[in-house]
């Protein structure tokens, strides 16, 4: 989806169409940008930027709070359209997913026809714009979906695969972060074609054990399957930053937003979780996860946040570094009411549940940032 949160705000308020719209936290309270319309992006506004900075460089922007319940609602409607064509759907986030339509071709026609119909239905039924990428594997499909945004439709075939890949910058390859890109450029390797033609001994000193994987991607080879499940095994929220972020306060603010989003989605779906996981991707694209498991499942925001903050603080003390992605997720899902969390005594637990219920109602009516929890 193109600028999903901002596009939903423009959909619900047509007066915002064509204007610079920024969705996120209060600029006076260390808020960060969750999404920006393409009109705002022209000024350099991007996700995870401090909101105070965003309004400085785009002073005429209209700043709106996150309305997660509304975005979840529309995301479900988008997935309902997907499911008309295939059950093999791998969600990446609320606004992005991989679809494997291999088994649907006899019924619905070519991959391109299916892609066009899905794109048209999203526009006609929901009034939103999607960019579609079609290819034989996940890496190329994701790449194609980003090549002609907004409102893109790109097909990468066996015939045009290398022709499409070769002129692109090396940063388009998964695993090539800013540090690796800088190292490659210092050796005169700027494009994917130049990367493919570089002697392996030079690349091995840069990529180490990842050299074979990187070269496969440079040739457009990716053998990963689309992983789908009819029942959710996890719920997560993650954010890729336009520029790497090392500031602890900004990262904590982003994480708190993610915990609140995930907790609210758990409650919306009447679920509780036993395990939390933080996903941290460094500037060189190295990705690690840090997890913790409860004795009893929960969907209480305060409990999830306490554990997430502890896991984050432990990581920060030992391995802090600039991040290009931060994510929070929960797994071990089961129906709510399966157990109580022993961190809180019964009166305090009930108090927190009532507080969550009040927060959910207020956010549903007035927006995600109508209330904020203290860190």
Q: Which residues are catalytic?
A: 96
**Where are the strands (E) in the chain, listed by range?**
21-24, 33-36, 62-64, 89-93, 96-99, 132-134, 153-155, 234-245, 271-282, 287-298, 323-331, 334-335
Say how far apart CA 264 and CA 90 lie, in whole Å.
Answer: 21
**Cβ partners under 8 Å of residue 149, min gap 6:** 2, 131
**Cβ partners under 8 Å of residue 209, min gap 6:** none
**Cβ partners under 8 Å of residue 118, min gap 6:** 81, 82, 85, 99, 130, 132
Q: Let me know if 322 is exposed, middle or buried by CB neighbors in 10 A (0-12, 13-18, 19+).
A: middle
How many residues are present in the chain? 375
User: What tokens were used for 164?
Assistant: 């499409």
User: What tokens were used for 290?
Assistant: 């840090």
Taking the alpha carbons at both ends of the chain, their separation in whole angstroms is 31
User: What tokens were used for 347?
Assistant: 């009166």
Q: Which of 291, 285, 277, 298 is nearest to 341 (CA)?
A: 298
**Cβ partners under 8 Å of residue 292, min gap 6:** 275, 276, 307, 310, 311
CA atoms within a 13 Å half-sphere pointing along the CA-CB vector of 69 = 15
Q: Which of 71, 16, 68, 27 is nearest to 50 (CA)?
A: 27
Say how far apart CA 265 and CA 222 lie, in whole Å.
Answer: 32
């Amino acid at each position: 989806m193109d600028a999903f949160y901002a596009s939903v705000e423009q959909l619900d308020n047509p007066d915002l169409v064509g204007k610079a719209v920024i969705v996120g936290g209060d600029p006076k309270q260390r808020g960060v940008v969750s999404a920006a319309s393409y009109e705002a992006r022209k000024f350099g506004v991007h996700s995870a930027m401090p909101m105070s900075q965003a309004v400085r460089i785009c002073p005429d922007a209209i700043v709106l709070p996150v309305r997660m319940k509304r975005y979840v609602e529309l995301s479900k409607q988008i997935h309902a359209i997907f499911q008309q064509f295939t059950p093999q759907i791998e969600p990446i986030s609320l606004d992005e997913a991989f679809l494997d339509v291999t088994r649907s071709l006899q019924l619905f026609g070519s991959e391109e026809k299916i892609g066009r119909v899905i794109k048209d239905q999203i526009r006609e039924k929901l009034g939103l714009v999607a960019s579609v990428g079609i290819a034989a594997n996940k890496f190329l499909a994701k790449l194609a979906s980003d090549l002609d945004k907004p409102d893109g439709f790109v097909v990468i075939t066996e015939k045009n695969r290398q022709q499409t890949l070769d002129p692109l910058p090396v940063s388009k390859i998964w695993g090539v972060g800013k540090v690796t890109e800088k190292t490659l450029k210092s050796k005169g390797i700027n494009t994917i074609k130049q990367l493919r033609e570089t002697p392996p001994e030079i690349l091995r000193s840069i990529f180490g054990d990842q050299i074979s994987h990187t070269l496969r991607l440079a040739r457009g080879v990716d053998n990963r399957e689309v992983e789908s499940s009819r029942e959710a095994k996890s719920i997560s929220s993650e954010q890729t930053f336009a520029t790497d972020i090392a500031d602890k306060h900004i990262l904590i603010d982003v994480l708190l937003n993610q915990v609140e989003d995930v907790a609210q989605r758990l409650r919306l779906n009447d679920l509780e979780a036993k395990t939390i996981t933080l996903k941290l991707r460094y500037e060189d694209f190295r990705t690690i996860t840090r997890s913790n498991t409860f004795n009893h499942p929960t969907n209480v925001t305060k409990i999830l946040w306490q554990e997430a903050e502890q896991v984050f603080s432990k990581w920060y003390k030992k391995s802090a570094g600039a991040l290009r992605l931060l994510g929070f997720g929960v797994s071990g899902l089961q129906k709510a009411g399966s157990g109580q969390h022993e961190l809180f005594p019964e009166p305090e637990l009930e108090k927190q549940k009532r507080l969550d219920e009040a927060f959910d109602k207020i956010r549903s009516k007035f927006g995600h940032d109508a209330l904020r929890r203290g860190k």
